[in-house]
Amino acid sequence: GAVVSQHPSWVICKSGTSVKIECRSLDFQATTMFWYRQFPKQSLMLMATSNEGSKATYEQGVEKDKFLINHASLTLSTLTVTSAHPEDSSFYICSARAAQGVVINEQFFGPGTRLTVL
Amino acid sequence: GDSVTQMEGPVTLSEEAFLTINCTYTATGYPSLFWYVQYPGEGLQLLLKATKADDKGSNKGFEATYRKETTSFHLEKGSVQVSDSAVYFCALRGRTSGSRLTFGEGTQLTVNP
C-alpha cells in the first residue's frame, strides 16, 4: 500500500512551452502533497506544499506563477511548469501525506519526473 | 532552524564490506529521524526510521540508532552488496513542522563486486 505515481516519468519539451506533471496517490487519500526539485547529485529542495482544495504554499525563492500547483482532489496534484526554459530542466519529485491510517504524517514519494527543456 | 548534515561522498566499498554513513542533526525538541534511499533514476524510498531517543530503526540489514546525546543517526550495514549502490539521504521531521521533512545532502554509495 501507500503507492504514489507520477506521470510522465520523463518529458522533453521546447523552450517557452508549458509542461504538466501529475502526482497521484493510488491507494490512499492524501490531504497534503509536496513538490520537490532535485538537481544532479544534490539533495531535494522543497518547492511547495499543496493542500487539497486550497492554494499551495510556496517556499521562498520559488516563483508561484512559474510553477503552478493544483490539488483538486484527495488523490491528485499537478505541477505545471509554465514557459519552461533550459534552467528548469531537473528531476521533479512529489510526495503525498496520508490523510488517515497508521502511517499518518508519513510522506510517500513518487518515482520522479525527469524534465529536459531544449 | 532544522538542519541535517551527512558525511560527504561518494563512498566506494567492496562487496561484503562494512558501511557507515554519518548523519547529525540540529532541531528543536525531539524530531523523528529517517533514512531514505534513492536508486538511479528513481524517487525516494523510506529505508528506516526512528521516532524517539534510543530507538533503533532497521530494514534490509541496515540499522541506525537515534542518539539524542550526540544528535546523530548514523546508518550502518555489516555486509554491503552491489545492489546497495544508491544515494542515501538522512532526514528529520520536527515535532512542530507537521509532515515537512528536512533532508541532508545525500551520500552516493557505490559497491564493487
Give CA–CA dist A33/A20, Å, rounded.
Answer: 16
DSSP state of B22: -
Q: Which residues of chain A does B106 touch, with a Cβ-Cβ cutoff of 8 Å?
A: 41-43
List the grid coordinates of B77: 550495514
Instruction: State the nearest Cα–Cα gap between B104 and chain A, in angstroms.
Output: 7
Q: Which residues of chain B does A34 touch, with a Cβ-Cβ cutoff of 8 Å?
A: 100
**Whether the Cβ atoms of residue A4 and residue A21 lie closer than 8 Å to each other:** no
| Closest to B24 measured CA to CA, from B69, B85, B56 | B69
**Whether the Cβ atoms of residue B73 and residue A79 lie closer than 8 Å to each other:** no
Query: pLDDT (tens digit, 9 = 90+) per residue, B67-112?
Result: 999 999 999 999 999 999 999 999 999 877 667 889 999 999 999 9
What are phi and psi for residue A87, nearest 5 degrees? -70, -10
Pairing relationship of beta strands A90-98 and A107-109 according to DSSP bridges = antiparallel
- Tell me what the mean pLDDT of segment B42-55 comes to: 92
pLDDT band at B37 (very low <50, low <70, confident <90, very high): very high
pLDDT band at A77 (very low <50, low <70, confident <90, very high): very high
Nearest Cα residue in chain B from A112: B43
- Tell me, what's the pLDDT at B1? 83
- Tell me, what's the pLDDT at B40? 84
| pLDDT of A18 higher than 90 | yes
Give CA–CA dist B6/B90, Å, rounded.
Answer: 7
Point out which residues pair with B49 in neighbouring strands: B34
- Asked if A44 reaches chain B (Cβ–Cβ under 8 Å), the answer is yes
Give CA–CA dist A54/A70, Å, rounded.
Answer: 8
